[in-house]
Amino acid sequence: MRGAWLAIATPVASVLLFFILNACFPFPATLLKGPPPSPRLMAADESDLQIQLAPDDQWRKPVPLDQISPTLIEATIAVEDQRFRQHMGIDPLAILRAAKQNALSGQTISGASTITMQLVKLLSGNRRRTLGNKALEAFRSLQLERIWTKDQILERYLNIAPYVGNHQGIESASMALFGKHALDLSQAEAYLLAGLPQSPTRFAPARHPEKALWRRHNVLHAAVQTRTLDAASAQRLTETELTLNKAQRPNAAFHFSRMAFTQRPAGGITTLDPVLQERCEELMRRRATALPAGCDIALVAIEIETGAVRALIGSLDPSDPIDGQVNGATAWRSPGSALKPFLYAAAFEAHLASPESLVEDSAMELAGWTPQNFDGDFQGRVTVTEALRRSLNIPAMRLARQAGLSRCIGVLESAGVHFRPGTAQAAGLALATGAAEVRLIDLTNAYATLGRNGQHKPWVLLEDEIDRDSPGAQVLSASTCEDLHTILSTRQRFVNAKPDARHFCWKTGTSSGFRDAWAIGHDEKYAIGIWVGHFSGTANPAFVGSRAATPLLTDAFLIH
């Protein structure tokens, strides 16, 4: 009678004790978060751009359970915890079996850790193997099984278990060893990987191939025992040779990715269109052969509707140890005449001029400085349209003086152009010739503002920062933008332009001393900016916007 009472009281007391302890010491919420994944940047189509080490110097790429090979899942259960689907976090039968084996051998030769207990150990930082820690792991495992489903536990375990080197999680390990996703593993590969977490260093396939294959044999044997694999198939897989094939870590759109990681160190889905990016990169490489040796090219393509940066090239060769590290999209450079449309916009907005207005192109003096046109000649009285199309300096300065320097700077800044503090004011009317440096990405975005009929949106690199509901801030009138479109459009500027051709409006820029060549414009879908030059500032007579940059811009509008 007493034995029967103990048989009933013991489990009841154990359950009661568990609930008391569970109430007093709940499962730590911080452990449920798990270790951070490797920061990962993705293109707009969610393909990988770049992956970086996690803060603890581990590679992790978590994937949902349905993106993991079913063979690997079953093999893991077979070799690590055959009763995983049945127990509640601890396996009493496994504990008894391990105790018997260890007692008979006189040493610890078998453990009784379940997958849940191993997960708790991983989440808590791999404490030392002591009796007290084992008891705590068992208690936490019982708690965890009440919080998560079996599939959730299994998914988390497979995503943080150590497999090889500093690759944690099956997806990272699969890519590191076989160059393929965890879902695409062959049977032979899956059974090999399933055995590695027991000792990632000892069974490392690249360093210890014989031990890795021996461990795979153990996994196959366990699978046969659990009847998830027949003996004939196990024998065939034992004889299957494996070829290691480490995947190259993604390293696309170098300068774009660096900018995006700076904005969001944890990574995320970016605005980059990988197809457009690849086409632009190929175009730049092909066109570079016709440019001076050693020069560099930068490109920015901004989607007008959203402000999303869909392509960005900071330099031709990011691997170059010197110039490759410079991002031409964000470098401060002299824009030459590329700012002129906005000076005319300031005059249009103030009702001081229209496209048909006449403006004087003759010598003028500014505090001892006598500015010149690019060709050193004067045209007399010309229309605003002709002055802007021919990029005459004097008419632009005259209109800018009438509109007022502050108004001109205000138009530029409201459209998206940024200047270094005080430089625009210091440049004065020489702003029309590029005397104040700007960044390609900002100036391209200002042309996107023109393409949006005067509505300004900030450029964005991350998809979740796109504000599709807001039309943007109206900083220029639609009529001003339409006038500029008409003046600068290929439809009006190209002789024999075909009505059904893809037209765009654009403006070139050439900095003083031929150090920078620019071409920027929009076709109502994209605003695209091109810069050509030397990052060192070395001059070259070839660096003229119309000759060095415009051909690239024309091709860029044709490939999207």
Look at strands 267-269 and 167-168 and give their pairing: unpaired
The DSSP H or E segment spanning 531 is strand 526-533
CA distance 500 to 485: 17
Catalytic residue among 141, 315, 337, 511: 337
From residue 495, how far is each of 103, 402, 490, 558 by CA, in Å?
96, 33, 9, 18
Per the residue annotation, which of 38, 69, 80, 137 is the catalytic one?
80
Q: Is 362 a catalytic residue?
A: no
Burial 197-222 (b: 16+ CB within 10 A, else e): bbebeebbbeeeeeebbebbbebbeb
Amino acid at residue number 436:
A
3 state SS for 182-239:
HHHCCHHHHHHHHCHHHCCCCCCCCCCHHHHHHHHHHHHHHHHHCCCCCHHHHHHHHC
Tokens of 180: 């393929």
By the 8 A CB rule, do 114 and 91 touch?
A: yes
End-to-end distance of the chain based on CA atoms, in angstroms? 86
**Is 542 strand, coil or helix?**
coil
- Measured distance CA(197)–CA(206) in Å, rounded: 15
Cα gap 40→303, rounded to integer Å: 23
Active site residue 80: yes
Show which residues are catalytic.
80, 337
